[in-house]
Amino acid sequence: MSQYAYDSTVKPLTVNDLLAMKQRSEKISCLTAYDASFSALIDKAGVDMMLVGDSLGMVVQGYETTLPVTIRDMVYHTRCVSAARQRAFIIADLPFMSYATPVMAAKNAAKLIQVGGAQMVKLEGARIEIVRFLVDQGIPVCGHLGLLPQLINQLGSYKVQGKEPADAAKMIADAHQLQQAGAGLLVLECVPASLAREISTQLAIPVIGIGASVDCDGQVLVLYDMLNIGIGKRPRFSRNFMQDNATIEAAIDAYHQAVKQSRFPTAEHSF
């Protein structure tokens, strides 16, 4: 368990709690987490959600992309994170090629939930039939539109998505289809502020932004980026929260408060 005293009165947040936060216009804070120690720190700060992201391939394992990450890696790290949290809602990424078919997706999602302790799985793209199939099996799903890191070999580089009117219209349609298929959350990555605002306003489910402006219902950052300890270049949409804080705990708390009070992201972190 975490280094902090276990409190049996604290219950993990649910997808219904997150929906209620959107409905009362309360911003949702989220950070990536990959191990028990950081999980405990993030949870203690009151951050609402932890995403066990396949970004661990880059910041933990040292790869250039997320593509080498396996379902076994994801289950291991999700289990580490879930062991130490008390309150935060836990989402785990389905890694590259782990959801090529509905049945494959369900088997791998089951591992993340049964063994890893995740409450929801996230998958990239408008995979409507797969989302519908997972939801039919009782598996909560988070969609992910905009920049899709698992498609880096098709995209060629990490760049803003949805700038052209046709691309924006497709993203709006995809977002509605994901919601109709039963997705309970949606992540928007690297999309123009105006598009992010439109999608967040139109959808009933919470929309979590990363490089998608303050108008989303919540924000997520890669933990190592906001602590400025990543081995790669820190993305423009991230911010070094260690700069004005003496400890990691204080930096995480500063991020949480900045999201809650709509002070992050600012225009300089948006497109």
User: Could you please report the per-residue DSSP string of 148-203?
Assistant: -GGGHHHH-S------SHHHHHHHHHHHHHHHHHT-SEEEEES--HHHHHHHHHH-
Q: Which residues pair with 92 in a beta bridge?
A: 52, 121
| Three-state secondary structure readout of 31-71 | EECCCHHHHHHHHHCCCCEEEECCCHHHHCCCCCCCCCCCH
- Tell me phi and psi for residue 172, to 5 degrees: -65, -45
* 189 is annotated as an active-site residue: yes
Q: Which of 26, 64, 164, 189 is catalytic?
A: 189
| Cα gap 112→25, rounded to integer Å | 30
Q: What number of other Cβ atoms are within 10 A of residue 158's Cβ?
A: 15
* Three-class DSSP category at 136: helix
Q: Is the dihedral of CA 63, 65, 71, 73 positive or negative?
A: positive
95: its two tokens: 């890694």
Residues with a known catalytic role: 189
